[in-house]
Homo-oligomer: A and B are copies of this chain.
Amino acid sequence: MSGSRRVQQLMEAFRCLPGVGPKSAQRMTYTLLQRDREGASRLADALLTAIAEVGECQQCRSLSETAICALCDSERRDRSVLCVVENPSDVQMIEEATDFQGLYFVLQGRLSPLDGIGPAELGLDRLEARFVAGEVQEVILAINPTVEGEATAHYVASMAREAQLSVSRIAHGVPLGGDLEFVDSGTLSHAFAGRMPLV
């Protein structure tokens, strides 16, 4: 226990960050308060601004502070190819690791009936509307290969086939039960290039 309640509260608040235990929280607190109050103040501002402004893109459901995100809005992207991912962070991973030039659709989760997550929660009605609208020709599934991810991928694949689109799925390299987030970018790039058509 520090003698200061405010110091203690800041340590506890840091615990909301993934991977931050009591020891790291303590180090973060003392480092900022003793040596980098400017950084601390910038972090507080960035948090408040992001919370207030960042919502979801109406088109791809990724994180965005505008109604349509910069990617969906870009005229340089190939609108005939749509990559379906679980999370906004997957978009960033693929952008950094590959030369994919199409657009994305972010499910923000995977089908999980027991948790009350069905097609509506994943925005699949909106995705289907895009599939049948005529612009999209090819669908790439970059959904994580977990049990629920598999079910989700099959669901989206059959929607795409119904709309007579070609469907592929990224392949080798993403370990079973793994998360895209924890794959190095070389492996991800390889998996992306080696995607297989779904029959």
Q: Please list the residues of chain A having a beta carbon within 8 angstroms of any beta carbon in chain B.
A: 1-7, 9-10, 12-14, 16-19, 24, 26-34, 36-37, 39-51, 53-54, 57, 62-65, 69-72, 87-89, 91-92, 95-96, 108, 181
* Residues in chain B near residue A69, CB distance under 8 A: 3-4
Chain A interface secondary structure, helix, strand, loop or mixed?
A: helix
Copies in the complex: 2
The distance in angstroms between the C-alpha atoms of A64 and B1, with both chains bound, is 13
**CB-based contact A16/B4 at 8 Å:** no
The distance in angstroms between the C-alpha atoms of A41 and B5, with both chains bound, is 18
Task: List 30 A-B pairs, Cβ < 8 Å.
Answer: A2-B63, A2-B91, A3-B64, A3-B71, A3-B91, A6-B53, A7-B54, A7-B63, A13-B39, A13-B43, A13-B45, A13-B46, A16-B32, A16-B43, A17-B28, A18-B27, A19-B24, A26-B89, A27-B89, A29-B50, A30-B89, A32-B47, A33-B54, A34-B87, A34-B88, A40-B50, A41-B51, A43-B44, A43-B47, A47-B47
- With A4-B70, A92-B26, A95-B1 known as contacts, the answer to whether A44 contacts B51 (CB < 8 A) is yes
* Residues in chain B near residue A88, CB distance under 8 A: 2, 7, 30, 33-34
